[in-house]
């Protein structure tokens, strides 16, 4: 059965027009009237339905019944990431969504190669949201992660200064003084907020700023991992903790 992300207010038994992204997906898959659908809105609603009509510019569907949602991630996981270059951020968003990240914060840091601002930054966030929607469709996840607007590290630290003290806050670091992951004492169901630097890592000033805000230095091991690899490693290890 085809799964489609459908961020609309849907009423059972009523025909509705698909949003553009879902319509394009249905057209690419060459769906036909009567084909069954599994629909979800990414924030707590899901339905079984079917295609009603297919056109070049318009696709209509009907929700016939609600269905039980997949279980949300047991632990809230926020990743604040120095944006990696090229298509690596796209890959990171896709895999982080599949692995259950609940919030992604794209950061501009001193050593970030990618520079985004204004309309270009806003378009990039929309692009990442579309990638996350596709990852939810593929993986069977019904809950869309929140992807925050692009911001600087200092802005993010200022905005998150009142973060719950019970949340485990860490920054990945290559410092010899960093705590090995294996030494962490993780509470059952504890939420995580992890900060990951870009290709060149954190600057000394950024390390100090993160430390001052309670982000303890944590090491994943002796290997120097790419940003996106480190993100996936954190998510996988946190899920198993």
Cβ-Cβ contacts under 8 Å for 165 (sequence gap 6 or more): 214
Report the 10 Å Cβ neighbour count for 151: 17
d(CA 16, CA 89): 34
Give the dihedral of Cα atoms 160, 161, 166, 170; nearest 10 deg: 70
Query: What average pLDDT does the chain have?
Result: 89
The continuous run of DSSP H or E covering 61 comes out as: strand 59-66
CATH code of 77-240, in short, is: 3.40.1280.10
* Digit-coded pLDDT (tens) for 107-117: 999 998 888 88
d(CA 141, CA 70): 6
CB 126 within 8 A of CB 97: no
CB 38 within 8 A of CB 48: yes
Q: Which residues pair with 180 in a beta bridge?
A: 219
Give the model's pLDDT for residue 191.
86
* Digit-coded pLDDT (tens) for 83-138: 998 899 999 999 999 999 999 999 999 998 888 888 999 999 999 999 999 999 99
Q: Which two tokens stand for residue 128?
A: 């990442």
Q: Which residues of 166-199 are buried (b: 16+ CB within 10 A; e: fewer)?
A: eebbbbbbeeeebeebeeeeeeeeebbbbbbbbe
**Fold of the CATH domain 2-66:** Ribosomal Protein L25; Chain P (2.40.240)
């Amino acid at each position: 059965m085809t799964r489609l992300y459908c961020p609309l207010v849907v009423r059972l038994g009523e025909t509705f027009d698909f949003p553009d992204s879902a319509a394009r997906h249905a057209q690419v898959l060459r769906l036909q009237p009567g084909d069954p659908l599994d629909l979800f809105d990414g924030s707590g609603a899901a339905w079984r339905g079917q295609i009603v009509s297919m056109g070049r510019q318009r696709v209509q569907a009907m929700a016939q019944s609600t269905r039980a949602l997949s279980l949300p991630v047991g632990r809230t996981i926020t990743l604040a990431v120095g944006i990696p270059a090229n298509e690596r951020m796209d890959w990171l968003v896709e895999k982080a969504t599949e692995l259950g990240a609940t919030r992604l914060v794209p950061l501009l840091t001193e050593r970030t190669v990618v520079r985004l601002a204004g309309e270009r930054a806003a378009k990039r966030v929309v692009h990442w949201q579309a990638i996350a929607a596709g990852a939810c469709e593929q993986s069977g996840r019904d809950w869309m992660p929140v992807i925050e607007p692009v911001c600087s590290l200092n802005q993010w630290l200022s905005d998150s200064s009142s973060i719950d003290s019970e949340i485990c806050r860490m920054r990945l670091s290559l410092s010899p003084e960093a705590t090995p992951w294996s030494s962490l004492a993780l509470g059952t169901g504890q939420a995580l907020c992890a900060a990951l630097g870009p290709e060149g890592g954190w600057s000394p000033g950024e390390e100090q700023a993160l430390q001052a805000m309670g982000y303890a230095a944590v090491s994943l091991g002796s290997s120097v991992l790419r940003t996106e690899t480190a993100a996936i490693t954190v998510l996988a290890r946190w899920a198993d903790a």
